[in-house]
Amino acid sequence: MTTQDDIRNLAIIAHVDHGKTTLVDAMLWQSGIFRQHEKVMERVLDNIDLERERGITIMAKNTGVHYRGVKINIVDTPGHADFGGEVERTLKMVDGVMLLVDAAEGPMPQTRFVLRKALEAGLPPIVVLNKIDRAEARPAQVLDEVYDLFIDLDAGEAQLDFPVVYTDARRGVATLDPARPGQNLLPLFDLILSAIPAPRADPGAGLQLLITNLDRDDFVGRLGIGRIVNGRVALADEVAVCGPDGRIEKAKVTRLYTFEGLGRTEVREAAAGDIVALAGIENLSLGDTVADAASPAPLPRVVVDEPTISMVFAVNTSPFAGREGRFVTSRKLKERLDKEAEGNVSIRVEPTGSPDAFTVAGRGELQLAILIEMMRRGGYELAVSKPEIIVKTVEGRLQEPVELLTVDCAEDFLGVVTQKVSLRKGRMTKMVNHGTGRVRLEFRIPSRGLIGFRSEFLTDTRGNGIMHTLFEGHEPWHGPIPERATGAMVADRPGATTTYALHHIQERGRLFLPPGAAVYEGMIVGENAKEADLDVNATKEKKLTNMRSSTADEALRLVPHRVLSLEQALAWINEDELVEVTPQSIRLRKKALPAKDRSRRRSP
């Protein structure tokens, strides 16, 4: 074993929005990888369209900078709980972490999750208190809360002895002393060199490279990304790929890269301790070990927390199938889902009784909604079912996943929030009133109760409530949770909706469609105020009389229809309904389209 003193590998971990990507941005700038006047967008690492639109990181990304002759590999990770699997596997690549905490908000549920994983992996942390520029910043108190969190998570003596640095990531400054404003990020870089251990490895041993990330390059094909745990690898080397179930295949390394700034640099050779990407192995999955061809020794595969939620993804069978998408067959759907499962450890794809449908399991509604959104942007059409939580049977008893729900809202909404949460079988475990007019509440709630809760919560708190969830474990089944109390208004024939017809329908509930929308029999046009479903003719034209009636028709006023986002649509549907997703449309439909095939919903 030797120590690779010229390398440091670390991950930046935190709760959502605490400023990870912004800090990595500043580190990249100050390491001089961009030219002086080069135009670089803000948070340049969030380079996936959906990441930019939503302002969140979805996938972990590798970067590398040089400082004082040391190569620092930094992995930016997502902070949203649904993408926790990305953090878990990233931790396999590194020797330490920067635990970032918003100096005003303090530790939040995902701070706890990522710190727990880092401590379990024995990784030493640097605590970064970010956003010290905020007027509400309270660094001393937040530091106490961070200590409490460490103690709560049973951190050892040595782990409690973490160094602290204070940053304003937006300005790119860091200081070890909160009383003295920083000038740049050099104190942080120095701290990384002194506090994060250099990798220890044996470059003379047989190659062992653990694949913890996958990527694709249009020119060279599949890329496997991971850390060289032992040995060395060179271009054109013959290697053994150790897959699941003891499978071993031979392959040849056709390209080899290390990470420099935002990109990859081709190299001829790399040694233990470094993080590399390699091409030439098409049949590669996450968790595989790329090993010495003569004496392959696989490393333990990556294991992450179990998925908690699942949905059925099926071929689009609506009468409009194939009109808007390029990929509509079950073969294409399966290929795409298999590819996702290969590259994403926390997603599982399983067959169902039908060759046209697959069960897709993940960590939360957002993770699955993002997958669906990426698929529709990629030209796919599909139909998805209501999200269901994954239960398990332990010693003959049914158990379901439960989560820690943290809510931050104005005092005025305390009543409505607690009432809604208790309907969904949530139990309050903590309430803190900061005396600022806002309260912070904690609940334990079955994951089942959280389906569709977010959009309801945002409406109830008029958009200013903040909520976060964190998977806690399994508990015995909590009993029934009331379902949607309203029915669907369902088109009884194909055609285009008319103002005249919608005008009459809107009196019964809430419309989802504007006039002029194409509908088919069995498609949902709105929400019925009553619990039963209602078949409606949404295409009826006004009977023409002798009198000119066009002006009269225009005078009919429609209440603006409700446009459901993908997540809202998924939250709204019942078991006998589907969301039809195409590159251009999100439609809601009954599973059984002809009215005669639909069983009436049972009256309560």
Taking the least distance from each CB to Mg ion, the nearer of 20 and 89 is 20
Give the phi and the psi of residue 111 in degrees, each rounded to 5. Answer: -60, -40
Does residue 57 belong to the site contacting Mg ion (CB under 5 A)? Answer: yes
Report 110-129 residues binding ligand GTP (CB under 6 A).
Answer: none
Q: Which residue has the tokens 């104005």?
A: 410
Which one among 4, 9, 21, 486 touches ligand GTP, defined by CB under 6 A? 21
Does residue 131 belong to the site contacting ligand GTP (CB under 6 A)? Answer: yes
Q: Which one of the spans 16-24, 102-110, 178-186, 226-234 is the region binding Mg ion (CB under 5 A)? A: 16-24
Packed helices 20-30 and 186-195: angle between N→C axes, nearest 10 degrees: 100
The CB-of-188 to Mg ion minimum distance in angstroms stands at 17
Taking the least distance from each CB to ligand GTP, the nearer of 31 and 130 is 130
Which one among 170, 440, 454, 478 touches ligand GTP, defined by CB under 6 A? 170
Burial of 160 (0-12, 13-18, 19+ CB in 10 A): exposed
Contact pattern from residue 175 through residue 214 relative to ligand GTP, giving x for each residue in contact according to CB under 6 A and a dash for the rest = ----------------------------------------
Taking the least distance from each CB to ligand GTP, the nearer of 46 and 237 is 46
Q: Which residue has the tokens 């409530």?
A: 465
Q: Which one of the spans 15-23, 453-461, 572-580, 594-602 is the region binding ligand GTP (CB under 6 A)? A: 15-23
Answer with the entry of ligand GTP, Mg ion, none that 18 interacts with (C-beta below 5 to 8 A by kind). Answer: ligand GTP
Strands (E), 262-396: 263-266, 269-271, 275-279, 289-292, 309-314, 348-351, 357-362, 382-385, 388-389, 392-394
Judged by CB under 5 A, the number of residues near Mg ion is: 3
Answer with the entry of ligand GTP, Mg ion, none that 17 interacts with (C-beta below 5 to 8 A by kind). Answer: ligand GTP
Helices first, then strands: H and E counts in the chain: 15, 37
Give me the torsion for CA of 401, 421, 370, 91, rounded to 10°.
Answer: -50
DSSP string for 554-585: HTPPPPPPPPPPHHHHHHH--TTEEEEE-SS-
Distance (Å, whole) CA 497 – CA 515: 5
Report strand pairing: 164-168 vs 173-175. Answer: antiparallel
Taking the least distance from each CB to Mg ion, the nearer of 99 and 383 is 99
Answer with the entry of ligand GTP, Mg ion, none that 336 interacts with (C-beta below 5 to 8 A by kind). Answer: none
Contact pattern from residue 76 through residue 95 relative to ligand GTP, giving x for each residue in contact according to CB under 6 A and a dash for the rest = --xxx---------------
Contact pattern from residue 502 through residue 541 relative to Mg ion, giving x for each residue in contact according to CB under 5 A and a dash for the rest = ----------------------------------------
Which one among 8, 11, 13, 20 touches ligand GTP, defined by CB under 6 A? 20
User: By C-alpha distance, which of 99, 87, 29, 98 is closest to 58?
Assistant: 87
Does residue 21 belong to the site contacting Mg ion (CB under 5 A)? Answer: yes
Contact pattern from residue 27 through residue 46 relative to ligand GTP, giving x for each residue in contact according to CB under 6 A and a dash for the rest = ----------------x---
HSE toward the beta carbon, residue 269, CA cutoff 13 A = 5
Cα separations (Å) of 287 from 96, 170, 224, 254, 304? 20, 35, 10, 20, 11
The CB-of-59 to ligand GTP minimum distance in angstroms stands at 10
Answer with the entry of ligand GTP, Mg ion, none that 168 interacts with (C-beta below 5 to 8 A by kind). Answer: ligand GTP
Does residue 16 belong to the site contacting ligand GTP (CB under 6 A)? Answer: yes
Judged by CB under 6 A, the number of residues near ligand GTP is: 21
The CB-of-14 to ligand GTP minimum distance in angstroms stands at 5
Taking every pair of Cα atoms in the chain, the longest distance, rounded to a whole number of angstroms, is 96
Distance (Å, whole) CA 511 – CA 530: 14
Which one among 20, 438, 561, 589 touches Mg ion, defined by CB under 5 A? 20
Taking the least distance from each CB to ligand GTP, the nearer of 192 and 523 is 192
Taking the least distance from each CB to ligand GTP, the nearer of 9 and 57 is 57
Neighbours of 22 (CB within 10 A): 23
Distance of CA 67 to the CA centre of its chain: 32
Q: Which one of the spans 52-60, 229-237, 502-510, 551-559 is the region binding Mg ion (CB under 5 A)? A: 52-60
36-72 burial, b at 16+ Cβ within 10 Å, e below that, comes to eeeeeeebbbbeeeebeeeebbbbbbbbbbebeebbb
Does residue 130 belong to the site contacting ligand GTP (CB under 6 A)? Answer: yes
Q: Which one of the spans 51-59, 344-352, 537-545, 591-599 is the region binding Mg ion (CB under 5 A)? A: 51-59
Taking the least distance from each CB to ligand GTP, the nearer of 131 and 255 is 131
Q: In sequence order, what are the beta bridge partners of 392?
A: 399
Residue in the shown chain whose Cβ atom is closest to ligand GTP: 79
Tokens read off for 597: 């095939």
Distance (Å, whole) CA 554 – CA 552: 5
Answer with the entry of Mg ion, ligand GTP, none that 365 interacts with (C-beta below 5 to 8 A by kind). Answer: none
Q: Is the Cα torsion angle 536, 538, 539, 544 positive or negative in sign?
A: positive
Give the interface with ligand GTP as residue ranges (CB under 6 A). 14, 16-22, 43, 56-57, 78-80, 130-131, 133-134, 168-170
Give the interface with Mg ion as residue ranges (CB under 5 A). 20-21, 57
